[in-house]
C-alpha cells in the first residue's frame, strides 16, 4: 500500500462520501481523487521524477493534505515540514532531504522568503492559496491540467521522510516505507474499535501523528474533520455536530480539556476511540478522563522511527473483567502489537527477563528503513539487530510495557536510579498541579538532586513543602524532589511535549557560577 492507495480504497467504498472537511469546505473522495490526479500531472510537468522529494509546509488544511496524495500518485516522496520550526531548522531539512519542490500556504510565505535563496535544489515552489512573484497559486499551477487517471510506478518503497525532533540536535531524516505505514495501519485497525464508517477529528498537526492516523480511517471510507488551529471549545462542538468516532490528543491538551467548562454538557456518545500518546500521561488524569469523557480512552506508543503502534492499549484494557478501572495498567503503554516484537535489552545487547528494566528495543515491519544519508546513525540505532528506542522500561508478567523514563532523563541521586517519569506520576496525583517536569541538577551531597518544575492548575496555589511531603508519602524520600520550582507554564515542543532540555538549561543558568 502506497499513501495514495488509502485514498483510492476509501473512494472504492463510495466516491460521493465526504473525505476531508474543514469548516464549510467539504471534499468528497471523488474530489480528492481528481485533485490528486491533477497534482501528480502538474508535478510531472514541473520535472519532478519518481523518488524525488516534495515538501509540504502548511498548517492543517484540506488542500495541503490532498496534495500529499497527489505527490504519492506521482511516485514522489512526502517530506512534511513543521510550520512551527524556525527558518534555520526548516532550511536544513529542505536541503538535507534533497527536496526539489515545495508546496506551501501563504501564511508561511515570510518563512519561505527567508529560506529560498539558500536552497538551490528547490526548483519548484507552489503557494496553496495565492499567487506570489516566485510561486504560482495551486489553482494557477493546476490550470489546464487533466484530472484523468494516471499511473506512475514507484522507484522504491520510501513513502515519506520525516524529520526527528530538533530537540536532540540536528534533525535526522526518518525514511518510512509504504510497508511501515501499512503495518501501522493494520495494527490500528486490528487493535482498536472501528464500528461502521469512522469520523476522525484532527486537531493535532497533520505533519505528525494526526496525519498518519488518517490512513486507516480512509481505508474504511471514513471522514477526516480537520481543525486549522487548537480550540477546545470548537473541538467539543465538532465531536457533537459531526458525530466523531475517533480522535487523538497529546496529554497536555487532554488535561486542558478535562478542565473545560463545556465538557460536561457535550454529547460524547458517538466516540469509539479517543487516542492519547506522544508523551506519558498522568494515571490520575487518565482516571479522570475515563470518568468525564467515557470508556473510550486508548493509548498508543511509538516514535517517528516506528510510527505510532509499538504498543497499544485499547479502551477495553483500561478496565478489569468486572468492569472496574484497571489502576494497575494505567501507567503502562499497553502491550506490543501482534505485528511487532518488543524486548528489553541491557547495554551489552542481552535481552532481559520479565520485570527487569532496560532499554526498550523493537523489530518488525513497523521499523523504519533507516536515516536518510546517515549510515552511521542508522547503524548505531540498529545495533544487535534491534531498533533502540532510547526509552527505559520493563515488561510485566501479563505482557504490559511500562516506560519508566527516557535514557537521557534518568537521575542518579545518592547512588540510586530515580526515574523522572515515576516522580511526575506521583506529582500529577496532586489536585493543584496541571503539569510537571522532573530533572536532575548537580548536587554536592547527592551527586544529582531531584528537581520538580510545576505548572499550577488555574486558580490554584502550590505550597512547595506540602508537595514534597505529598510525593515522599507515595514514593519515598529518595525519589521525592529536593527542590521545587513553580512556573506559569512549561516550555513545549511543536506537538506539546515538555522540553526538559530547556527546563534543565534554564535552571542550570540560574545556578551560582563556580
User: What pLDDT is recorded for position 171?
Assistant: 84
Give CA–CA dist 44/48, Å, rounded.
Answer: 5
Question: What would the grid cell of residue 458 be?
Answer: 488555574
The pTM is what?
0.85
Q: Which of 372, 383, 303, 375 is nearest to 347 (CA)?
A: 383
**Cα 397–chain centre separation:** 28
User: What pLDDT is recorded for position 400?
Assistant: 97
Residues 391, 332 contacting (CB under 8 angstroms): no
Give CA–CA dist 36/70, Å, rounded.
Answer: 4
Most distant CA atoms of the chain, gap in Å: 74
Give CA–CA dist 218/214, Å, rounded.
Answer: 6
User: What pLDDT is recorded for position 164?
Assistant: 84
> Cβ neighbours of residue 120 under 8 Å, at least 6 residues apart?
none
Give CA–CA dist 197/202, Å, rounded.
Answer: 16
> Cβ neighbours of residue 274 under 8 Å, at least 6 residues apart?
246, 247, 248, 249, 289, 293, 294, 296, 297, 298
Q: What share of the chain is helix, strand, coil (3-state, %, to 5)?
A: 35, 25, 40
Q: Which of 299, 294, 295 is nearest to 279 (CA)?
A: 299
User: What pLDDT is recorded for position 478?
Assistant: 80
Residues 53, 97 contacting (CB under 8 angstroms): yes
| R_g (Cα) of the chain, nearest Å | 23
CA distances for 247 relative to 63, 296, 383, 387, angstroms:
20, 10, 35, 28
User: What pLDDT is recorded for position 477?
Assistant: 83
CA distances for 200 relative to 15, 226, 235, 271, 419, angstroms:
18, 8, 12, 10, 35
CA distances for 431 relative to 262, 332, 459, 460, 462, angstroms:
20, 22, 11, 9, 10
Residues 36, 204 contacting (CB under 8 angstroms): no
b/e per residue 116-133 (b: at least 16 CB within 10 A): beebeebebbbbbbeeee
Tens of pLDDT, residues 61-91:
999 999 999 999 999 999 999 887 778 889 9
Give CA–CA dist 7/14, Å, rounded.
Answer: 11
Residue carrying the nine cell digits 461502521: 196
Give CA–CA dist 22/210, Å, rounded.
Answer: 15
DSSP annotation string for 351-377: BPPTT--EEEEEESTTS-SEETT-HHH
For residue 477, the tally of other CB atoms under 10 A from its CB is 11
Residue carrying the nine cell digits 497529546: 250
Residues 203, 227 contacting (CB under 8 angstroms): yes
Tens of pLDDT, residues 343-375:
999 999 999 999 999 999 999 999 999 999 999
Task: Chunk the chain into consecutive blocks of 10 residues (it has 514) and report each block's average pLDDT, rounded to whole numbers.
Answer: 97 98 97 98 96 96 96 97 84 95 96 92 96 96 94 93 70 95 97 97 86 96 95 97 95 91 97 90 92 97 94 97 94 95 97 96 98 96 96 95 82 79 89 92 84 92 92 86 93 79 88 68
Q: 464-475 vs 420-427: helix axis angle to the nearest 10?
A: 120
All structural domains of the chain: 30-154 (3.40.50.980), 230-406 (3.40.50.12780), 410-510 (3.30.300.30)
Question: What would the grid cell of residue 95 be?
Answer: 536541503
Amino acid at each position: 500500500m502506497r499513501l495514495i492507495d488509502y485514498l483510492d480504497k476509501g473512494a472504492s467504498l463510495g466516491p460521493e462520501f465526504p473525505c476531508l472537511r474543514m469548516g464549510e469546505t467539504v471534499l468528497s473522495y471523488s474530489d480528492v481523487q481528481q485533485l490528486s490526479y491533477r497534482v501528480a500531472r502538474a508535478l510531472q510537468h514541473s520535472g519532478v521524477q519518481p523518488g524525488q522529494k516534495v515538501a509540504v509546509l502548511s498548517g492543517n488544511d484540506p488542500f495541503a493534505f490532498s496534495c500529499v496524495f497527489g505527490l504519492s500518485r506521482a511516485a514522489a516522496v512526502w517530506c512534511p515540514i513543521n510550520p512551527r520550526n524556525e527558518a534555520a531548522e526548516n532550511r536544513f531539512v529542505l536541503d538535507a532531504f534533497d527536496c526539489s519542490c515545495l508546496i506551501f500556504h501563504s501564511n508561511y510565505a515570510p518563512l519561505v522568503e527567508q529560506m529560498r535563496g539558500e536552497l538551490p535544489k528547490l526548483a519548484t515552489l507552489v503557494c496553496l492559496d495565492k499567487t506570489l512573484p516566485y510561486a504560482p497559486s495551486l489553482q494557477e499551477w493546476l490550470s489546464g491540467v487533466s484530472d484523468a487517471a494516471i499511473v506512475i510506478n514507484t522507484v522504491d518503497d520510501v513513502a515519506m521522510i520525516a524529520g526527528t525532533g530538533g530537540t536532540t540536535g540536528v534533525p535526522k531524516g526518518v525514511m518510512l516505507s509504504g510497508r511501515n505505514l501499512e503495518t501501522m495501519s493494520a495494527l490500528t485497525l486490528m487493535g482498536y474499535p472501528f464500528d461502521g464508517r469512522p469520523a476522525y477529528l484532527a486537531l493535532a498537526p497533520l505533519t505528525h501523528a494526526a496525519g498518519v492516523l488518517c490512513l486507516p480511517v480512509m481505508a474504511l471510507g471514513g471522514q477526516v474533520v480537520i481543525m486549522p488551529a487548537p480550540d477546545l471549545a470548537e473541538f467539543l462542538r465538532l465531536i457533537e455536530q459531526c458525530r466523531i468516532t475517533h480522535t487523538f490528543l497529546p496529554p497536555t491538551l487532554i488535561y486542558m480539556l478535562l478542565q473545560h467548562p463545556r465538557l460536561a454538557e457535550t454529547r460524547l456518545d458517538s466516540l469509539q476511540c479517543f487516542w492519547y500518546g506522544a508523551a506519558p500521561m498522568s494515571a490520575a488524569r487518565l482516571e479522570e478522563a475515563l470518568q468525564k469523557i467515557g470508556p473510550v480512552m486508548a493509548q498508543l506508543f511509538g516514535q517517528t522511527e516506528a510510527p505510532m503502534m509499538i504498543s497499544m492499549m485499547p479502551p477495553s484494557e483500561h478496565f478489569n473483567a468486572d468492569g472496574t478501572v484497571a489502576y494497575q495498567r494505567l501507567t503502562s503503554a499497553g502491550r506490543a502489537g501482534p505485528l511487532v516484537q518488543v524486548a528489553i535489552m541491557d547495554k551489552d545487547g542481552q535481552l532481559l527477563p520479565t520485570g527487569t528494566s532496560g532499554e526498550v528495543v523493537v523489530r518488525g515491519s513497523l521499523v523504519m528503513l533507516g536515516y536518510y544519508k546517515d549510515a552511521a546513525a542508522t547503524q548505531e540505532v540498529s545495533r544487535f539487530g534491534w531498533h533502540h528506542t532510547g526509552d527505559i522500561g520493563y515488561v510485566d508478567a501479563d505482557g504490559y510495557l511500562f516506560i519508566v523514563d527516557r535514557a537521557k532523563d534518568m537521575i542518579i541521586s545518592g547512588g540510586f536510579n530515580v526515574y523522572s517519569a515515576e516522580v511526575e506520576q506521583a506529582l500529577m496525583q496532586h489536585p493543584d498541579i496541571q503539569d510537571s517536569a522532573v530533572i536532575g541538577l548537580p548536587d554536592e551531597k547527592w551527586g544529582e538532586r531531584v528537581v520538580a518544575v510545576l505548572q499550577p492548575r488555574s486558580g490554584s496555589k502550590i505550597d512547595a513543602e506540602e508537595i514534597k511531603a505529598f510525593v515522599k508519602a507515595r514514593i519515598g524520600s529518595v525519589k521525592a524532589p529536593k527542590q521545587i520550582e513553580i512556573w506559569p507554564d512549561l516550555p513545549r515542543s511543536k506537538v506539546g511535549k515538555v522540553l526538559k532540555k530547556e527546563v534543565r538549561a534554564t535552571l542550570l543558568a540560574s545556578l551560582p557560577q563556580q
